[in-house]
Structure 1
Amino acid sequence: MADYAIGDLQGCFSEFNTLLQRVDFKPSKDHLYLVGDIVARGPDSLACLDYIYQHQNSMTITLGNHDLHMV
């Protein structure tokens, strides 16, 4: 079991996915802390949100200013 923390995804799902593969993130046993700005400048904020929703039991999220503006 491992804990990971990532900040400022900014809607960059491809890079986010590459990073998760690089650390061999396993949602069934690892935990991911996302700290701010999940959505914004990148091309695929929706894909980031979809992934997070699908794996919500393995993640803890702190919303950033971009996320709060979206809400």
Structure 2
Amino acid sequence: MIKIDLKLFVTLSKYLPKDSGCLEIPEETTVEKLMLDFGIPPELVKLIFINGKRQDSKYRLKHNDRVGLFPPVGGG
């Protein structure tokens, strides 16, 4: 098991478990699998940041990764 810090922003925040702080997940978990496990529809995730760098959903998470998932942003 590894520990990650997961942040879900704006409309995705409802998928974050209560008292989530540091999460323990199995080694070799991808962002795609993480979204599936938390019931986050992949089409709702526009940007994935790992440790401040943009990644895609195939990224394999590592111990102490900081994960940020963002929905599409509207505006004008």
Q: Same fold (TM over 0.5)?
A: no
Structure whose residues are more often helix by fraction: 1
TM-score interval, normalised by the smaller of the two chains:
under 0.3
TM-score, reference length from structure 1: 0.27
